[in-house]
Amino acid sequence: MINGVIFDFDGLIFDTETHQYRILQDMFGEYDSELPLALWQNEVGTDGGFSPFHYMEQQIGKPVEHELLNKQYKERFLSVLSKEKPRDGVVEYLETAKEMDLRIGLASSSSYRWVSSHLKRLDLYDYFQCIRTSDHVEKVKPDPALYLQAAEHLDLAPETCLVFEDSAHGATAAKRAGMSCVVVPNKITSTMEFGHVEHRLDSMADMPLKDLLDFVATIKVK
């Protein structure tokens, strides 16, 4: 029986990841270079230490001004995100979970400052009884620590939690934690291999949460 739901943040609650990649691709194009999607996908949902502008240097064969490029990137990214809304169906899932008295958590490989500031701007912060981020663990996804900590804080056994993820690293973390997992990919993560998860949705708007919970209750993928 599912007693709690735990959400990823970036790319799932609102689509930071598609904008992030498009902005980087535009910047690479300005230097007659390209950031391959497959390479960027390796970084989605985790923190592998990849530096896109160091990669750019390798591609164009000359140094670039990292400080300037990082400044330009952050300005473009935050400008776009300031207009972004939650992905379709997210608010409805949170409302339904609240009405059903499910415990609601969030587990993100990003920082608490990043996550909390955007949740507050989106007016979603108060839905979550627990928020666990990179500030709370030594290892982020695909390590299961974020999800295990969230379950513990919610006073739930891992097997009674349903995770919503958009990335392969995140789905791996959820399954390693012993939880059920439904993936809701975005445009950047839609071609990823997610392995054995309970279900995949193109959008949370495609299936009411109550129906999804009934479906997940009949299946458990190990």
What whole-number distance in Å separates Cα of residue 215 and Cα of residue 210?
9
The DSSP code for 130 is: E
Q: Which residues of 183-218 are buried (b: 16+ CB within 10 A; e: fewer)?
A: bbbbebbeebebeebbbeeeebeebebeebbeebee
Sign of the four-CA dihedral 188, 13, 52, 25: positive
What whole-number distance in Å separates Cα of residue 197 and Cα of residue 88?
21
- Residues with catalytic annotation? 8, 10
User: How many of the other CB atoms lie within 10 Å of CB of 105?
Assistant: 25
Smallest CA-to-CA distance from 176 within 202, 151, 199 is with 151
What is the CA angle 176-181-186, rounded to 5? 115
Q: With 0-12 CB in 10 A as exposed, 13-18 as middle and 19+ as buried, what is 164?
A: buried
